[in-house]
Structure 1
Amino acid sequence: MTQHPPKVKSADRVLDIFELFTGEKESYSLTEIAKSLNMPPSSTYLILQNMLNRGYLETDRSGKQFRIGFKLFTIRSGYMRNTSLTGEFNQIAERIIDDLNETVCLAIRTEDQLLYIGEKVSTHALRFNPNLGGTLPLHATASGKILLADLTPDELRAIYPSEQLEKVTNNTIPTYSDLLKELEKVREQEFGYNMGETVDGVHCVAGAVRDADGRAAASVSISIPVVRITDEVWDNVHNWIRRSCEELSYKVYRQY
């Protein structure tokens, strides 16, 4: 006689909800979730509220559409800190901090957001403090532009179906047309720039960490308050971005 492992019904339902988000849709309503998983709406509501409170789900402005929340990205970033990519990044970032003492970040793309998976923060009182495991709109960041520049026109349009783009500061790129022009510059220069588009008064330079196929798998960036930028510092930042991206690309993706 075959013995089946014991099941916890509520845990199964939570996992079923997570697995629902591996499909084609990014968000679902309460009714859609209950119907898709053949669950009573009343118990579905209670489970969703618990997942919302714990940060595993979030809602849109109407409060009626549910999507994956920040907590899963935080867990994912914690896991990725133990990978060779973040391990190698930490060693390089230590050298950058010793030389420049400016904040260094490692980031990847998750759908239409930039996810920070590594950081070394400046010891200056005035500094950029990234939120490890946090996300920002791709088009508003230097690293995001690096990762977007690698995408096809169809992939870009899928991320940005509208002409107007979300604004983080008054300097954020406002339209899709402006973004396309900016990405052309990124491809030519091989650097991405954020000139106060995420935080007023902070400039950032980013480069691509490329996999064995030459695709941008991640991005390294250095952020500096404008008051500390000189021509010499700016040149040094570009040199470090170039060197660190080449080193990470080789050590993580191409050495084998």
Structure 2
Amino acid sequence: MSKATLPEDLQEKYIVPGLERGLRLLCEFSRKDSTLSAAELARRLQVPRSTVFRLLTTLEMMGFVERTDGGREFRLGMAVLRLGFEYLASLELTELGRPLLDRLRDDIHYPCNLVVRDGRSIVYVAKSVAPTPFASSVNVGTRLPAHATVLGRVLLEDLSLAELRELYPESQLEVFSESTPRTVEQLFEMVQHDRQRGYVLQEGFFEASISTIAAPVRDRSGKVAAAMGATIPASRIDPEQLGPMVEQVRHAADELSRLLDYRPAAEHKVVNLYRE
């Protein structure tokens, strides 16, 4: 909702002037005006030059603007570019993944999810619910610990042992079930077996009554960009259906990888993930 669409009596209550000014300042830069001085920005925004200097200092510290022309002018910084790339990447992933999730759900008749990693957490970015009595407890935006979930294990596959130790510097990992790895070394061994297998199927890894099938989604660089999975009540698994279901999940994940321009033949040479 823009400021113009807010009732006048709510604008004063909900609009943050400093944030609004900072965003308006960023919007003044364009292809035509790629560099601007503080004086010009103050004139355009019709605010005191001291206010513009405070805004510019804050934005410069965060990487959204940078100085040029000996410090007399400013231009957009790399943080703006990263935001744009992250937006495009997330839009591409969810928009391309949604139809595949729906089709997978229709094929296997269980809820299907697409998740990405944010540090030590997984974040659900898309979900397709099956019309069954079984209701998943997660929604889009739900965050769960990466090391303690099947989907999280898939998202950790590309990390070396040294990178995992940097992500989890503690000597003992937080335990959520009997299946949770206790140390980084145990976690690393687990995810490397997952990597070699190409998928994960496990019962009760995070919740006792839930089984998950998960497979990696890779982007054009060959890195794991997301994990696609199906959630199944453990008591309802038919062993004869498991093989076909695993293949359906893997096929859907591979198809999304292809849509993200992943080409297995173009992968970089295998690196030593055990490096310190």
The alignment's TM-score, normalised by the length of structure 2, stands at 0.62
Distance 1:138 1:123 in 2: 28
2:133 is aligned with 1:93: no
* C-alpha distance after superposition, 1:171-229 (max 9, x if no partner): 32222232122112112201134432222210101111111221111110111011110
The CA RMSD over aligned residues, in Å, is 3.0
Distance 2:186 2:239 in 1: 27
Is the 8 Å Cα contact of residues 97 and 120 (structure 1) preserved in structure 2?
yes
1:28 aligned residue:
none
Distance 2:207 2:259 in 1: 32
Output the amino acid matched with 2:125.
Answer: I
Is the 8 Å Cα contact of residues 218 and 260 (structure 2) preserved in structure 1?
no
Output the amino acid matched with 2:131.
Answer: T
Is the 8 Å Cα contact of residues 94 and 125 (structure 2) preserved in structure 1?
yes
Against the structure 1 CA distance between its residues 167 and 122, is the aligned structure 2 distance closer, same or farther, given a 3 Å change threshold?
Answer: farther
1:199 aligned residue:
207
Output the amino acid matched with 2:229.
Answer: S
Output the amino acid matched with 1:238.
Answer: V
Alignment of 1:94-109 (within 5 A): 94-109=102-117
2:240 is aligned with 1:240: no
1:114 aligned residue:
122
2:135 aligned residue:
127
Alignment of 1:68-83 (within 5 A): 83=91
Pick the aligned partner of 1:153 from 161, 174, 185.
Answer: 161
Larger Rg: 1 or 2? 2
SS at match of 1:241: helix
Is the 8 Å Cα contact of residues 164 and 188 (structure 2) preserved in structure 1?
no
Deviation of residue 80 (structure 1)?
Answer: 7.4
1:25 aligned residue:
none
Q: How many residues align?
A: 196
Pick the aligned partner of 1:5 from 16, 28, 45.
Answer: 45
Gaps of 5+ in 1: 23-78
Distance 1:80 1:195 in 2: 35
Against the structure 1 CA distance between its residues 237 and 80, is the aligned structure 2 distance closer, same or farther, given a 3 Å change threshold?
Answer: farther
Distance 2:63 2:154 in 1: 27
Deviation of residue 4 (structure 1)?
Answer: 4.6
Output the amino acid matched with 2:93.
Answer: L
Output the amino acid matched with 1:172.
Answer: T
**Which is worse superposed, 232-241 or 166-175?**
166-175
Q: How much identity, in percent, do the aligned residues show?
A: 26
SS at match of 1:116: strand
SS at match of 2:107: helix
Against the structure 1 CA distance between its residues 6 and 118, is the aligned structure 2 distance closer, same or farther, given a 3 Å change threshold?
Answer: farther
Is the 8 Å Cα contact of residues 100 and 252 (structure 2) preserved in structure 1?
yes
Output the amino acid matched with 1:101.
Answer: H
2:182 aligned residue:
174
**Which is worse superposed, 239-248 or 165-174?**
165-174
Distance 2:128 2:245 in 1: 15
Output the amino acid matched with 2:159.
Answer: L
Is the 8 Å Cα contact of residues 220 and 260 (structure 2) preserved in structure 1?
no
SS at match of 2:114: strand
Output the amino acid matched with 2:45.
Answer: P
Gaps of 5+ in 2: 1-38, 65-86, 264-276
2:92 aligned residue:
84
Runs of 4+ in 1 over 3 A off after TM superposition: 6-9, 19-22, 79-82
Against the structure 1 CA distance between its residues 170 and 127, is the aligned structure 2 distance closer, same or farther, given a 3 Å change threshold?
Answer: farther
1:163 aligned residue:
171
Is the 8 Å Cα contact of residues 128 and 202 (structure 1) preserved in structure 2?
no
Deviation of residue 242 (structure 1)?
Answer: 1.4
